[in-house]
Amino acid sequence: MTELPNVHVRAEILAQALPHMQRYDQEIVLIKYGGHAMGDAEAAQTFAQDVVLLEQSGLKPLVVHGGGPQIGKMLNRLGIQSEFRGGLRVTDAATVEVVEMVLAGSINKQIVGWISGQGGRAIGLCGKDGNMVRAKRALKTYRDPESNEEQVLDLGLVGEPEHVERGVLDAVLKAELIPVLAPVAYGADGQTYNVNADTFAGAIAGALRAKRLLLLTDVPGVLDKNKKLIPELTVEDCRRLIADGTITGGMIPKIETCMYALDRGVEAVVILDGKVNHAVLLELFTNYGAGTLIRRG
């Protein structure tokens, strides 16, 4: 006699997901998708399944994606040398053309294809479309290791969101489409700007007053000094952990994006590991969560 799969266990799992689905019914959830998970074909298909399941369950998912490694590969292929200042890539006119080609072109349409392949209806857009996002030149500072003085970095055509016009996104969501957004935007000066994907996602989530902003990364979440996951934080906790050196390096700008989004009306932000299978579903539809949840307080 062939042993049947444990269908009762599966049914119980589905039943446990019901209150979570009801909590997020018709709510906006924005997912920032990036890191090494984007380069893994199997993980990409799993991510696409999660996004389609969210939409089929009554949520309104949006995806904002990055693409730093892919941009770097294309620049190398075209023989365009990158200049770095303070460890950050300078985006000149030649570089921003490649950035737009890779982000708003190949990567964006690849993700749309993944979602469509799982039965979803996705549409690829960037910040330029419908004047969705207006950017301004980003001002970055760094501390010079020799003089120990803070210096302003000119990173060229690197921008940060100045204004989000939500009309295009409202129309797309009303049509029951899944927006897939590339972080490229126009400035009031007519220039094209390369915007950090986390920052772009935070601005979009804030403008839409999303129920959740999920930042998929390459780490489990925010770690304490013993490298153990911190399951939940408030904004006050985040400021304290930055001040005492627990939160350092690249996690600081992610936390700043979280605080920015919360300040603009997002209910909660989660930093989670995009390499974990079905991390999005674990976070939204189970009691266990899959990363660090950050609330206003």
- Pick out the residues of the known binding site for substrate: 67-68, 89, 194
Q: Looking only at Cα atoms, what is the longest distance across the chain?
A: 77
Whether the CB-CB separation of 280 and 47 falls below 8 Å is answered with yes
Q: What is d(CA 259, CA 277) in angstroms, rounded to the nearest whole number?
A: 27
The candidate with the shortest Cα–Cα distance to 67, out of 188, 170, 194, 160, is 194
Annotated binding site: 67-68, 89, 194
Q: What is d(CA 97, CA 80) in angstroms, rounded to the nearest whole number?
A: 11
Whether the CB-CB separation of 43 and 275 falls below 8 Å is answered with yes
